[in-house]
Structure 1
Amino acid sequence: MKFTRKANAEWKGSGKDGHGSLTSGSKILDKTAYSFHTRFEDGEKGTNPEELIGAAHAGCFAMQLSFLLNEDNFTATSLDVDSTVTFEDGAITKITLNLVGDVPEIDAEKFQQIAHKAKEVCPISKVLNTAIELKVTLKKA
Protein backbone atom coordinates (compact mmCIF):
# COMPACT_ATOMS: atom_id res chain seq x y z
CA MET A 1 0.00 0.00 0.00
CA LYS A 2 1.30 3.44 -0.92
CA PHE A 3 -0.27 6.83 -0.35
CA THR A 4 0.68 10.43 0.38
CA ARG A 5 -0.76 12.98 2.78
CA LYS A 6 -0.33 16.73 2.65
CA ALA A 7 -0.34 19.56 5.14
CA ASN A 8 0.49 23.26 5.03
CA ALA A 9 2.11 25.64 7.50
CA GLU A 10 1.96 29.39 7.06
CA TRP A 11 4.05 31.69 9.28
CA LYS A 12 4.02 35.49 9.51
CA GLY A 13 6.40 37.67 11.47
CA SER A 14 9.34 36.96 13.72
CA GLY A 15 9.96 33.73 15.60
CA LYS A 16 8.89 35.05 18.99
CA ASP A 17 6.24 37.58 18.05
CA GLY A 18 4.93 36.02 14.86
CA HIS A 19 2.13 33.57 14.40
CA GLY A 20 1.10 30.89 11.99
CA SER A 21 -1.56 28.46 10.96
CA LEU A 22 -1.61 24.78 10.09
CA THR A 23 -3.93 23.14 7.59
CA SER A 24 -4.14 19.42 6.92
CA GLY A 25 -5.20 17.93 3.62
CA SER A 26 -8.32 16.50 5.26
CA LYS A 27 -9.11 19.99 6.66
CA ILE A 28 -9.46 18.57 10.18
CA LEU A 29 -6.85 21.22 10.88
CA ASP A 30 -8.04 24.28 8.99
CA LYS A 31 -5.90 27.32 9.61
CA THR A 32 -5.35 26.11 13.19
CA ALA A 33 -3.33 28.71 15.07
CA TYR A 34 0.17 28.12 16.39
CA SER A 35 2.81 30.48 17.73
CA PHE A 36 5.79 30.81 20.05
CA HIS A 37 3.28 31.18 22.89
CA THR A 38 1.35 27.98 22.05
CA ARG A 39 4.61 26.10 21.70
CA PHE A 40 6.73 27.35 24.59
CA GLU A 41 4.20 28.87 27.00
CA ASP A 42 0.69 28.11 28.20
CA GLY A 43 -2.54 30.01 28.08
CA GLU A 44 -3.03 30.87 24.40
CA LYS A 45 -5.44 28.91 22.25
CA GLY A 46 -3.71 26.99 19.49
CA THR A 47 -1.53 23.99 18.85
CA ASN A 48 2.18 23.24 18.47
CA PRO A 49 4.35 20.77 16.57
CA GLU A 50 5.13 18.65 19.64
CA GLU A 51 1.49 18.04 20.55
CA LEU A 52 0.75 17.15 16.93
CA ILE A 53 3.62 14.65 16.93
CA GLY A 54 2.28 13.23 20.19
CA ALA A 55 -1.22 12.86 18.76
CA ALA A 56 0.09 11.29 15.55
CA HIS A 57 2.27 8.87 17.51
CA ALA A 58 -0.48 7.84 19.95
CA GLY A 59 -2.96 7.34 17.11
CA CYS A 60 -0.56 5.39 14.91
CA PHE A 61 0.58 3.18 17.80
CA ALA A 62 -3.01 2.39 18.91
CA MET A 63 -4.01 1.42 15.37
CA GLN A 64 -0.84 -0.66 14.87
CA LEU A 65 -1.45 -2.45 18.17
CA SER A 66 -5.03 -3.18 17.15
CA PHE A 67 -3.84 -4.82 13.93
CA LEU A 68 -1.25 -6.92 15.76
CA LEU A 69 -3.81 -8.02 18.35
CA ASN A 70 -6.13 -9.06 15.51
CA GLU A 71 -3.34 -11.15 13.97
CA ASP A 72 -3.31 -13.18 17.22
CA ASN A 73 -7.14 -13.38 17.30
CA PHE A 74 -7.67 -10.73 19.99
CA THR A 75 -9.89 -7.69 19.66
CA ALA A 76 -9.48 -4.78 22.03
CA THR A 77 -12.52 -3.33 23.74
CA SER A 78 -10.43 -0.18 24.12
CA LEU A 79 -6.85 1.01 23.76
CA ASP A 80 -6.24 4.33 25.50
CA VAL A 81 -2.84 5.84 24.69
CA ASP A 82 -1.45 9.04 26.21
CA SER A 83 1.65 10.46 24.56
CA THR A 84 4.03 12.76 26.40
CA VAL A 85 6.58 14.53 24.22
CA THR A 86 9.61 15.93 26.06
CA PHE A 87 11.35 18.94 24.48
CA GLU A 88 14.73 20.01 25.88
CA ASP A 89 17.39 22.37 24.59
CA GLY A 90 15.99 22.55 21.07
CA ALA A 91 15.27 18.84 20.59
CA ILE A 92 12.61 16.25 21.29
CA THR A 93 14.51 14.03 23.70
CA LYS A 94 11.88 11.46 24.63
CA ILE A 95 8.34 10.34 23.95
CA THR A 96 6.48 8.30 26.53
CA LEU A 97 3.48 6.28 25.41
CA ASN A 98 1.24 5.29 28.29
CA LEU A 99 -1.11 2.51 27.18
CA VAL A 100 -4.13 1.25 29.07
CA GLY A 101 -5.79 -1.60 27.25
CA ASP A 102 -8.95 -3.56 27.74
CA VAL A 103 -8.53 -6.76 25.74
CA PRO A 104 -10.72 -9.76 26.58
CA GLU A 105 -9.06 -13.16 27.01
CA ILE A 106 -5.43 -11.96 26.76
CA ASP A 107 -2.92 -12.38 29.56
CA ALA A 108 -0.66 -9.55 30.70
CA GLU A 109 2.54 -11.12 29.32
CA LYS A 110 1.09 -11.59 25.83
CA PHE A 111 -0.33 -8.06 25.88
CA GLN A 112 3.07 -6.64 26.86
CA GLN A 113 4.76 -8.61 24.07
CA ILE A 114 2.35 -7.43 21.37
CA ALA A 115 2.40 -3.84 22.65
CA HIS A 116 6.20 -3.67 22.51
CA LYS A 117 6.19 -5.10 19.00
CA ALA A 118 3.64 -2.44 18.01
CA LYS A 119 5.94 0.27 19.38
CA GLU A 120 8.80 -1.03 17.24
CA VAL A 121 6.88 -1.40 13.97
CA CYS A 122 4.62 1.65 14.26
CA PRO A 123 5.45 3.88 11.26
CA ILE A 124 5.57 7.01 13.42
CA SER A 125 7.93 5.31 15.91
CA LYS A 126 10.20 4.41 13.01
CA VAL A 127 10.44 7.98 11.73
CA LEU A 128 11.22 9.57 15.11
CA ASN A 129 14.85 9.98 16.13
CA THR A 130 14.37 9.92 19.90
CA ALA A 131 13.97 7.56 22.82
CA ILE A 132 10.51 6.03 22.98
CA GLU A 133 9.37 4.66 26.33
CA LEU A 134 6.28 2.46 26.60
CA LYS A 135 4.27 1.89 29.79
CA VAL A 136 1.61 -0.83 29.52
CA THR A 137 -1.40 -1.52 31.73
CA LEU A 138 -3.93 -4.25 31.00
CA LYS A 139 -7.31 -3.76 32.62
CA LYS A 140 -8.57 -6.80 34.51
CA ALA A 141 -11.94 -8.10 33.36
Structure 2
Amino acid sequence: MNRKARAVWQGTGRDGSGHLTTDSGVLSTTPYSFKTRFENERGTNPEELIAAAHAGCFTMALAFQLQAAGFTPDELATEATVSIEKEGEGFRISKSVLSLQARVPGIERAKFEELARAAEKNCPVSKVLNAEIAMTFTLT
Protein backbone atom coordinates (compact mmCIF):
# COMPACT_ATOMS: atom_id res chain seq x y z
CA MET A 1 0.00 0.00 0.00
CA ASN A 2 1.32 3.43 -0.93
CA ARG A 3 -0.02 6.88 -0.07
CA LYS A 4 0.99 10.05 -1.89
CA ALA A 5 1.18 13.75 -1.23
CA ARG A 6 2.65 16.52 -3.36
CA ALA A 7 4.37 19.73 -2.31
CA VAL A 8 4.91 22.69 -4.61
CA TRP A 9 7.07 25.62 -3.46
CA GLN A 10 7.80 28.98 -5.09
CA GLY A 11 10.35 31.52 -3.92
CA THR A 12 12.89 31.57 -1.12
CA GLY A 13 12.63 29.66 2.13
CA ARG A 14 11.67 32.67 4.24
CA ASP A 15 9.64 34.70 1.74
CA GLY A 16 8.31 31.98 -0.54
CA SER A 17 5.24 29.84 -0.14
CA GLY A 18 3.87 26.57 -1.27
CA HIS A 19 0.94 24.25 -1.17
CA LEU A 20 0.28 20.62 -0.35
CA THR A 21 -2.09 18.23 -2.08
CA THR A 22 -2.93 14.63 -1.24
CA ASP A 23 -4.31 11.99 -3.58
CA SER A 24 -7.37 11.64 -1.36
CA GLY A 25 -8.14 15.34 -1.83
CA VAL A 26 -8.26 15.99 1.93
CA LEU A 27 -5.46 18.47 1.32
CA SER A 28 -6.01 20.33 -1.91
CA THR A 29 -3.52 23.11 -2.60
CA THR A 30 -3.41 23.74 1.17
CA PRO A 31 -1.04 26.66 1.76
CA TYR A 32 2.14 26.48 3.80
CA SER A 33 5.04 28.87 4.28
CA PHE A 34 7.67 30.07 6.73
CA LYS A 35 4.93 32.05 8.48
CA THR A 36 2.60 29.05 8.81
CA ARG A 37 5.48 26.99 10.16
CA PHE A 38 7.28 29.38 12.51
CA GLU A 39 4.66 32.09 13.11
CA ASN A 40 0.85 32.03 13.25
CA GLU A 41 -0.27 32.65 9.69
CA ARG A 42 -3.24 30.60 8.51
CA GLY A 43 -2.23 27.43 6.69
CA THR A 44 -0.50 24.22 7.65
CA ASN A 45 3.04 23.00 8.20
CA PRO A 46 4.89 19.68 8.27
CA GLU A 47 4.89 19.42 12.06
CA GLU A 48 1.13 19.92 12.27
CA LEU A 49 0.65 17.20 9.66
CA ILE A 50 2.94 14.85 11.58
CA ALA A 51 0.99 15.61 14.77
CA ALA A 52 -2.27 14.76 12.98
CA ALA A 53 -0.76 11.57 11.58
CA HIS A 54 0.58 10.53 14.97
CA ALA A 55 -2.69 11.24 16.81
CA GLY A 56 -4.70 9.37 14.20
CA CYS A 57 -2.34 6.41 13.97
CA PHE A 58 -2.02 5.95 17.73
CA THR A 59 -5.77 6.28 18.33
CA MET A 60 -6.62 3.70 15.68
CA ALA A 61 -3.90 1.36 16.98
CA LEU A 62 -5.37 1.64 20.48
CA ALA A 63 -8.85 0.88 19.15
CA PHE A 64 -7.46 -2.33 17.64
CA GLN A 65 -5.63 -3.19 20.90
CA LEU A 66 -8.84 -2.70 22.86
CA GLN A 67 -10.87 -4.74 20.38
CA ALA A 68 -8.41 -7.65 20.55
CA ALA A 69 -8.71 -7.56 24.36
CA GLY A 70 -12.53 -7.61 24.20
CA PHE A 71 -13.25 -3.93 24.93
CA THR A 72 -15.19 -1.38 22.89
CA PRO A 73 -14.36 2.26 23.61
CA ASP A 74 -17.13 4.82 23.78
CA GLU A 75 -14.57 7.43 22.73
CA LEU A 76 -10.83 7.85 22.30
CA ALA A 77 -9.70 11.45 21.78
CA THR A 78 -6.00 12.10 21.27
CA GLU A 79 -4.10 15.34 20.86
CA ALA A 80 -0.51 15.10 19.63
CA THR A 81 1.92 17.94 20.23
CA VAL A 82 5.01 17.81 18.03
CA SER A 83 8.03 19.88 19.06
CA ILE A 84 10.61 21.24 16.65
CA GLU A 85 13.89 22.70 17.88
CA LYS A 86 17.06 24.16 16.46
CA GLU A 87 19.82 21.65 15.81
CA GLY A 88 23.06 22.84 14.28
CA GLU A 89 22.27 24.82 11.14
CA GLY A 90 18.77 23.37 10.87
CA PHE A 91 15.91 22.01 12.92
CA ARG A 92 14.71 18.63 14.08
CA ILE A 93 11.49 17.18 15.40
CA SER A 94 12.52 16.31 18.93
CA LYS A 95 9.34 15.11 20.62
CA SER A 96 5.75 14.04 20.14
CA VAL A 97 3.48 14.03 23.18
CA LEU A 98 0.21 12.11 22.92
CA SER A 99 -2.51 13.31 25.33
CA LEU A 100 -5.41 10.87 25.40
CA GLN A 101 -8.90 11.19 26.87
CA ALA A 102 -10.62 7.79 26.88
CA ARG A 103 -14.01 6.38 27.81
CA VAL A 104 -13.86 2.60 27.84
CA PRO A 105 -16.56 0.77 29.78
CA GLY A 106 -15.49 -2.11 32.01
CA ILE A 107 -11.71 -1.81 31.69
CA GLU A 108 -9.35 -1.58 34.63
CA ARG A 109 -6.78 1.21 34.59
CA ALA A 110 -3.76 -1.14 34.55
CA LYS A 111 -5.10 -3.10 31.58
CA PHE A 112 -5.91 0.12 29.73
CA GLU A 113 -2.43 1.49 30.33
CA GLU A 114 -0.85 -1.76 29.10
CA LEU A 115 -2.85 -1.57 25.85
CA ALA A 116 -2.24 2.17 25.42
CA ARG A 117 1.53 1.73 25.88
CA ALA A 118 1.53 -1.04 23.27
CA ALA A 119 -0.32 1.22 20.82
CA GLU A 120 2.07 4.09 21.59
CA LYS A 121 5.08 1.89 20.85
CA ASN A 122 3.73 -0.02 17.86
CA CYS A 123 1.70 2.36 15.72
CA PRO A 124 3.51 2.86 12.39
CA VAL A 125 3.95 6.61 12.89
CA SER A 126 5.61 6.07 16.28
CA LYS A 127 7.95 3.60 14.62
CA VAL A 128 9.01 6.07 11.93
CA LEU A 129 9.58 9.07 14.21
CA ASN A 130 13.16 9.64 15.29
CA ALA A 131 12.00 11.58 18.32
CA GLU A 132 11.10 11.14 21.96
CA ILE A 133 7.52 9.90 22.30
CA ALA A 134 5.52 10.42 25.46
CA MET A 135 1.93 9.63 26.36
CA THR A 136 -0.44 10.77 29.07
CA PHE A 137 -4.00 9.61 29.48
CA THR A 138 -7.21 10.15 31.38
CA LEU A 139 -9.56 7.19 31.60
CA THR A 140 -13.19 7.73 32.55
Global fold match (TM > 0.5) = yes
**Match in the other structure for 2:118:** 117
1:11-42 C-alpha deviation (Å, 9 max, x unpaired): 00000000000001101000000000000001
Q: Which runs of 5+ in 1 are unaligned?
A: none
Aligned-CA RMSD value: 0.5
Gaps (5+ residues) in structure 2? none
Q: Which amino acid aligns with 1:117?
A: A
Partner Cα separation in structure 2 for residue 45 and residue 135 of structure 1: 29
Query: How many residues in Structure 1 have an aligned counterpart in Structure 2?
Result: 136
Partner of 2:67: 70
TM-score for both structures, normalised by structure 1:
0.95
Confirm or deny that 1:29 pairs with 2:27. yes
Name the counterpart of 1:136.
137
C-alpha distance in 1 between matches for 2:39 and 2:83 = 14
Alpha-carbon distance in structure 2 between the residues aligned to 1:79 and 1:28: 22
Distance 1:88 1:4 in 2: 30
Of 48, 51, 63, which aligns to 1:51? Answer: 48
Aligned-pair CA distance for 1:137: 1.1
Tell me the residue number matched to 1:8: 6
CA–CA separation in structure 1 for the residues paired with 2:85 and 2:42:
22
TM-score, normalised via structure 2 length: 0.96
Q: Percent identity?
A: 51
